[in-house]
Amino acid sequence: KAGVTQTPRYLIKTRGQQVTLSCSPISGHRSVSWYQQTPGQGLQFLFEYFSETQRNKGNFPGRFSGRQFSNSRSEMNVSTLELGDSALYLCASSPGLAGIMGYNEQFFGPGTRLTVL
Amino acid sequence: QKEVEQDPGPLSVPEGAIVSLNCTYSNSAFQYFMWYRQYSRKGPELLMYTYSSGNKEDGRFTAQVDKSSKYISLFIRDSQPSDSATYLCALGGTNAGKSTFGDGTTLTVKP
């Protein structure tokens, strides 16, 4: 089974621009979560989508948004980029509901490395 | 104060050593306790998860949870150079889609 794929893998933007990142989850998974990873703040939860609806949201400004399509693929958008948005953006997919073991494991993609100049 | 505090490291040990990685947390509502391993330029991969207090073993890895102290640990026995990576603890509810992560501990195992 193919893993989580993220495109692009690397991106360089300048301040004020906007960017769209894409994530394709594992086939059959209905939940996609996005995380931002930086050396100073670690791995921080951005938002989660399940069946095209935002199910959870982290503490990020409104410049960060996302959406999920009917095929479970997800995109996140960052508008008006700031230098501090430079980070590794990770997407994780999961079945979406707790399984038999009561835990809904998530699988991470390789990430998109965004550099804002 | 962060919800999850992880020993920052970095850690450097000789091959064959026992490694102990630790996290403390403040929110008693967390139900699941996970350990992820992240190699350079890769996304995190789940090593183990536990639900209740106690120990869970998987090969050379043992996860330990003490809910009364809000303390979780990962032990690696007979460490190998291939174990060199960043280890992240994570806590959450039944829905792993929203997990709270520690900052990670970078481990280097020297041959």
For residue A101, the SS3 value is: coil
pLDDT at B96: 60
Hey, what are B18's tokens? 């026992």
Checking if the pLDDT of A101 tops 70, the result is no
Alpha-carbon span B71 to B31, nearest angstrom: 13
Kindly list the residues from chain B whose CB atom is less than 8 angstroms away from the CB atom of residue A110: 41-43
Kindly list the residues from chain A whose CB atom is less than 8 angstroms away from the CB atom of residue B36: 108
Alpha-carbon span B57 to A60, nearest angstrom: 36
DSSP state of B52: S
pLDDT at A22: 98
Tell me if B103 and A42 make a contact (CB, 8 A cut-off). yes
Q: Which of A18-27, A55-64, B71-80, B85-94 has the lowest mean pLDDT?
A: B85-94
Checking if the pLDDT of A74 tops 70, the result is yes
Q: Which of B88, B97, B100 sits opposite A106 (nearest CB)?
A: B97
Strands A112-116 and A10-13: parallel
Q: Does B46 touch chain A (CB under 8 A)?
A: yes
Checking if the pLDDT of B2 tops 80, the result is yes
Tell me if B98 and A94 make a contact (CB, 8 A cut-off). no
Hey, what are B6's tokens? 């992880």
Checking if the pLDDT of B76 tops 60, the result is yes
Checking if the pLDDT of B94 tops 70, the result is no
| Mean pLDDT in residue range A80-107 | 82
> Which residue out of A106, A108, A113 would a mutagenesis test of the B interface target, given it has the greatest number of B Cβ atoms within 10 Å?
A106
Kindly list the residues from chain A whose CB atom is less than 8 angstroms away from the CB atom of residue B51: 102-103
Contact indicator for B34, B87 with CB cutoff of 8 Å: no
| Mean pLDDT in residue range B4-8 | 90
pLDDT at B31: 84
Q: Which of residues 20-39 of A touch B (CB under 8 A)?
A: 31, 33, 35
Checking if the pLDDT of A100 tops 80, the result is no
Q: Does B111 touch chain A (CB under 8 A)?
A: no
Phi, psi of B84 (to 5 degrees): -65, 115
| Mean pLDDT in residue range B21-42 | 91
Alpha-carbon span B107 to A115, nearest angstrom: 26
Chain A residue with minimum CA distance to B89: A43
- Percent of chain A beyond pLDDT 70? 93
Checking if the pLDDT of A117 tops 80, the result is yes
